[in-house]
């Protein structure tokens, strides 16, 4: 007799941490190696000449100082929000509001830069390969207006895309980032191949300071935005596995990759380009501004290479635009959630579940900026604002060390407090110097700050006072078991009861705790914390599971897991609870040919750190007759172990069977009887057990046809290699799809399979 279920109706839900070190690194690299290097290389060369290499290197040093601060804060406080969240914690009043206000604007201005950069590469592509049409368009509208039209179209397109809920998965983002790196490595390789003699290379860098050190500082201010992006790792800190370890590593790896790539690109652009009229390479690059890399590629790459570079620029600007629209609207959404922006900005679309108002407001501002300011002013304004916000993040490290020394900090800024103080000084110094060469950026920034503070003190201050800063403490310990559990992810209330019956029987036999949980899915455009807004839908399912467990005298803990994808949530639950067995349902079919059991189930089966059972069930009552086909192997052995628990629990008879061809030889039939006998040896149940040889041309067809007289078919996963038969193999998948009976397919964890093989071999 078992005790009633444990009812866990409140508490801290699990937030799925589904991003590893590589994923986190690619987020940073993808954001930094984006439109900035394509758009700003020529501008930097024009402002500082060959010393633009020094400008990028010094920007890397300044960025590294702030990266130390981000690494400590994001590792200690691994939650969504990034720089805004850190400054808000350190300065909960007007300063915290200003940080969010500036960061929102900075991301939005960056969007403007990427939209303008896309327009430049768009017309460069057409000018290169369809010159007739391009010249006609330029003749009718002028080059400037044509660029603005494309800027407007691409900006509006990605605003709509974000609002509709379209998303690029993490794997696609990784592929896109790696592709961009490959494109730039091709450019670098051809550049090194085109280098002349050491004397010719040296002449390209002489004089090194054609515009003095002041030109270097100007270039630093204009191009600092190219190093913005590693901070996005902190904005998804809540979704990174082992954040205290992976966030610092991802931050520094991403920064190292980016700085090395930037310096190599600048070197070959300056050293391998030799204009026919004798113009210095740096002046040549400066004349072409945002399309300078394309002009450089024309000098030392074949025609296909130039096309690759242009296409890479288009891809980079599009991906950067999409990512920064999402980032900027997320900041606005978070501020509205904290009551520091009007409440409508925090609205979520009821069907698409996207922050559509925040996206629309952000989009209007970014288009206005892109259509009214020159690209130099746009890039300088974005760099200026990031410099100011990064200075505030460095200051937050110092403040939080004093205000909250109790926070566990597994990573700490080295040489504290020298490094954060130096970061503050250098960021502020660069920001102040920008006034000497781009005062419009300061005018725009000051105007934005003044407007924000007026709104804050006139309207938001009283509302903000009601928002108390969250207590900084270590995450609460789970109230559910943390190891050796049988877990049941529940999605459909109609099948929750029968899944619990199977899982409970296995848990009783293995002396394991039983945990049922449901996954709350959150769209990529929303911070993962926003899953709590949708939690009530899943709480109803968990309540039904608790009621069923209580009525059937089962001891069950329940929990919620919040994730961007259901499969990630299930895997996060398996890791959190130290799952020994995972029992999940399957609807019986999949809508796509490239999936076996469906996207969610396939991902769980591939990556689950435990034994897995997938149940296709159309019944609500326990089965009475079971068909057990077997051909040996670790998965069939696991199926037999589970039948030893399920058969007595359900009072179920078992028929072990083997399928042979109708024209099978006597030897083949004796082999079938031998396999059935070995299977019966593993069954230790005190219920009726029979055996049967089935004749059929198809193994899967024979099992499916025979199962008409049974309530349940239990199958072990196929022993074919993964790359041959995917997850479970062709036979179990076809039986599960076409059998009229319930079907339970089991797969032993690979670690357990290795142990089984070791024992079997002696």
Same domain, 563 and 453: no
Q: Which residues pair with 606 in a beta bridge?
A: none
pLDDT computed for residue 741 by the predictor: 92
End-to-end CA distance of the chain: 40
Boundary-marking domain end, from 619, 649, 667: 619
- What's the CA gap between 263 and 256, in Å, rounded? 11
Flag whether pLDDT at 294 surpasses 90.
Answer: no
Same domain, 125 and 34: yes
User: 225-283 pLDDT, tens per residue?
Assistant: 778 778 778 777 767 777 778 888 888 998 999 889 889 988 888 888 877 777 788 88
Same domain, 289 and 198: yes
- What's the CA gap between 224 and 709, in Å, rounded? 72
* 123 inside domain: yes
- What's the CA gap between 309 and 577, in Å, rounded? 48
pLDDT computed for residue 583 by the predictor: 93
Same domain, 344 and 399: yes
Taking Cα atoms as reference points, which of 142, 153, 152, 143 lies closest to residue 123? 143
Residue 486, φ and ψ in degrees, nearest 5: -105, 120
DSSP string spanning 590-650? Answer: -S-TT-SS-HHHHHHHHH-SSEEEEEE---SS--SEEEEE---SHHHHHHHHHHHHHHHHH
Same domain, 91 and 187: yes
* 563 inside domain: yes
The number of distinct structural domains making up the chain is 3
Same domain, 107 and 203: yes
Q: Round the average pLDDT of the chain to a whole number and report it.
A: 79
- What's the CA gap between 395 and 388, in Å, rounded? 11
User: 734-747 pLDDT, tens per residue?
Assistant: 888 888 899 998 88
Flag whether pLDDT at 191 surpasses 80.
Answer: yes
Element housing 654 (H / E)? strand 653-660
Residue 97 structure tokens = 């509001």
* 727 inside domain: yes
- What's the CA gap between 229 and 33, in Å, rounded? 8
- What's the CA gap between 88 and 81, in Å, rounded? 10
* 579 inside domain: yes
Q: Is the peptide bond before 207 cis (omega within 30 degrees of 0)?
A: yes
Q: Which residues pair with 341 in a beta bridge?
A: none
Q: What is the domain extent for residue 726? A: 622-762
208 contacts: CB under 8 Å, gap ≥ 6: 49, 50, 51, 54
User: 335-351 pLDDT, tens per residue?
Assistant: 887 788 888 887 877 67
Q: Which residue has the higher pLDDT, 252 or 310?
A: 252
pLDDT computed for residue 114 by the predictor: 78
Element housing 658 (H / E)? strand 653-660
Same domain, 612 and 628: no
Flag whether pLDDT at 750 surpasses 80.
Answer: no
Lowest-pLDDT range of 57-66, 604-613, 654-663, 751-760: 751-760
pLDDT computed for residue 530 by the predictor: 65
- What's the CA gap between 292 and 381, in Å, rounded? 21
Flag whether pLDDT at 357 surpasses 80.
Answer: yes
Give the percent of the chain with pLDDT over 90. 9
Boundary-marking domain end, from 619, 653, 668: 619
Residues 299/274, Cβ–Cβ less than 8 Å: yes
Question: How many residues appear in the chain?
Answer: 762
List the CATH number of the domain containing 561.
Answer: 3.40.50.620
Under DSSP, is residue 116 helix (H, G, I), strand (E, B) or coil? helix
pLDDT computed for residue 404 by the predictor: 81
| Phi and psi based region of residue 36 (left: phi greater than 0; alpha: psi -120 to 50; beta: remaining) | alpha
User: 81-131 pLDDT, tens per residue?
Assistant: 667 878 888 888 888 888 888 888 888 877 887 787 788 778 877 777 777
**Which residue's entry shows tokens 């989009």?**
363
List the CATH number of the domain containing 342.
Answer: 1.20.1740.10
Q: Is the peptide bond before 417 cis (omega within 30 degrees of 0)?
A: yes
Same domain, 614 and 626: no
* 455 inside domain: yes
Taking Cα atoms as reference points, which of 741, 630, 625 lies closest to residue 687? 625
Same domain, 251 and 288: yes
pLDDT computed for residue 11 by the predictor: 47
User: 454-501 pLDDT, tens per residue?
Assistant: 988 888 777 655 544 443 443 344 455 556 889 999 888 888 889 999
Residues 231/82, Cβ–Cβ less than 8 Å: yes
Under DSSP, is residue 671 helix (H, G, I), strand (E, B) or coil? helix
Residue 385: CB atoms within 10 A of its CB come to: 28
Boundary-marking domain end, from 418, 433, 464: 464
DSSP string spanning 496-508? Answer: HHHHHHHHHHHHH
pLDDT computed for residue 423 by the predictor: 92
Same domain, 613 and 626: no
User: 375-397 pLDDT, tens per residue?
Assistant: 666 667 777 888 888 899 999 99
**Which residue's entry shows tokens 């603005």?**
148
* 135 inside domain: yes
Same domain, 638 and 753: yes
- What's the CA gap between 451 and 197, in Å, rounded? 56
Taking Cα atoms as reference points, which of 471, 457, 470 lies closest to residue 340? 457
pLDDT computed for residue 79 by the predictor: 65
* 476 inside domain: no
pLDDT computed for residue 171 by the predictor: 53
* 305 inside domain: yes
Residue 41: CB atoms within 10 A of its CB come to: 28
User: 402-439 pLDDT, tens per residue?
Assistant: 888 878 888 899 988 899 999 999 989 888 887 877 78
Q: Where are the beta strands (DSSP E) in 482-571?
A: 485-489, 513-521, 557-563
Same domain, 371 and 247: yes
- What's the CA gap between 378 and 118, in Å, rounded? 14
- What's the CA gap between 361 and 334, in Å, rounded? 14
Q: Which residues pair with 745 in a beta bridge?
A: 614, 715
pTM: 0.69
Residues 195/271, Cβ–Cβ less than 8 Å: yes
pLDDT computed for residue 469 by the predictor: 43
Residue 391: CB atoms within 10 A of its CB come to: 22
């Amino acid at each position: 007799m078992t005790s009633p279920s444990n009812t866990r109706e409140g508490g801290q839900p699990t937030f799925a941490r589904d991003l590893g070190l590589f994923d986190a690194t690619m987020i940073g690299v993808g954001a930094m190696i984006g439109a900035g290097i394509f758009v700003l290389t020529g501008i930097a060369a024009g402002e500082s000449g060959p010393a633009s290499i020094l400008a990028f290197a010094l920007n890397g040093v300044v960025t590294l100082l702030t990266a130390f601060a981000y690494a400590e804060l994001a590792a200690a406080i691994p939650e969504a929000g990034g720089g805004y969240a850190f400054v808000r914690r350190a300065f909960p009043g007007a300063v915290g509001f200003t940080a969010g206000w500036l960061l929102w604007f900075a991301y939005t201005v960056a969007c403007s830069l990427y939209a303008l950069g896309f327009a430049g590469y768009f017309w460069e592509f057409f000018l290169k390969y369809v010159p007739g049409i391009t010249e006609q368009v330029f003749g009718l509208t002028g080059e400037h207006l044509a660029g603005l039209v494309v800027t407007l179209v691409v900006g509006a397109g990605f605003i709509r895309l974000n609002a509709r809920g379209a998303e690029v998965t993490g794997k696609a983002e990784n592929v896109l980032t790696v592709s961009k790196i490959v494109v730039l490595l091709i450019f670098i390789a051809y550049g090194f191949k085109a280098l002349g003699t050491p004397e010719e290379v040296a002449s390209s860098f002489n004089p090194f300071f054609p515009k003095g050190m002041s030109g270097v500082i100007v270039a630093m201010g204009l191009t600092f935005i190219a190093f913005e992006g590693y901070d996005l790792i902190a904005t998804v800190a809540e979704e990174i596995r082992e954040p205290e370890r992976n966030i610092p590593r991802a931050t520094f790896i991403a920064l190292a990759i980016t700085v090395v790539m930037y310096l190599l690109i600048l070197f070959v652009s300056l050293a391998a380009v030799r204009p026919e009229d004798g113009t210095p390479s740096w002046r040549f690059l400066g004349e072409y501004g945002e399309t300078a890399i394309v002009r450089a590629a024309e000098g030392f790459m074949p025609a296909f290479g130039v096309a690759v570079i242009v296409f890479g620029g288009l891809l980079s600007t599009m991906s950067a635009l999409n990512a920064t629209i999402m980032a900027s609207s997320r900041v606005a959404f978070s501020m509205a959630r904290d009551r520091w922006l009007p409440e409508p900005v925090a609205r979520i679309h009821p069907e698409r579940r996207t922050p559509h108002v925040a996206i629309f407001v952000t989009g209007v501002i970014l288009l206005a900026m892109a259509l009214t300011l020159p690209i130099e002013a746009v890039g300088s304004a974005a760099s200026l604002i990031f410099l100011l916000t990064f200075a505030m993040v460095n200051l937050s490290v110092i403040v939080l060390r004093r205000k909250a020394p109790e926070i566990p900090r597994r990573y700490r800024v080295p040489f504290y407090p020298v490094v954060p103080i130096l970061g503050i000084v250098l960021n502020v110094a660069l920001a102040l110097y920008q006034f000497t060469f781009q005062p419009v950026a300061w005018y725009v920034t000051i105007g934005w700050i003044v407007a924000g503070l007026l709104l804050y003190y006139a309207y938001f201050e009283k509302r903000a006072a009601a928002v108390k800063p969250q207590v900084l403490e270590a995450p609460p310990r789970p109230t559910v078991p943390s190891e050796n559990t049988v877990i049941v992810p529940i999605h459909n209330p109609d099948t929750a009861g029968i899944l619990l019956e199977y899982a409970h029987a296995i848990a009783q036999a293995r002396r394991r705790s039983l945990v049922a949980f449901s996954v709350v899915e959150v769209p990529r455009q929303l911070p993962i914390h926003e899953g709590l807004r949708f939690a009530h839908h899943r709480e109803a399912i968990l309540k039904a599971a608790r009621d069923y467990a209580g009525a059937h005298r089962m001891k069950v803990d329940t929990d919620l897991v919040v994730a961007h994808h259901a499969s990630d949530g299930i895997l996060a639950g398996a890791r959190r609870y130290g799952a020994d067995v995972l029992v999940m349902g399957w609807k019986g079919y999949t809508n796509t040919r490239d999936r076996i059991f469906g996207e969610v189930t396939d991902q769980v089966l591939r990556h689950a750190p435990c034994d897995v059972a997938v149940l296709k069930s159309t019944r609500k009552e326990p089965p009475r007759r079971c068909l057990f086909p077997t051909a040996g192997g670790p998965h069939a052995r696991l199926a037999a172990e589970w039948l030893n628990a399920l058969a007595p629990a359900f009072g179920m008879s078992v028929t072990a069977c083997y399928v042979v061809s109708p024209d099978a030889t006597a030897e083949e039939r004796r082999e079938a009887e031998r396999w059935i006998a070995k299977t019966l040896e593993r069954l230790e149940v005190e219920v009726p057990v029979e055996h049967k040889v089935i004749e059929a041309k198809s193994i899967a067809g024979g099992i499916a046809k025979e199962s008409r007289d049974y309530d349940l078919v239990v199958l072990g996963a196929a022993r074919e290699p993964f790359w041959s038969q995917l997850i479970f193999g062709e036979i179990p998948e076809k039986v599960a799809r076409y059998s009229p009976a319930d079907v339970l397919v089991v797969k032993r964890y690979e670690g357990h399979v290795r142990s089984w093989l070791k024992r079997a071999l002696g």
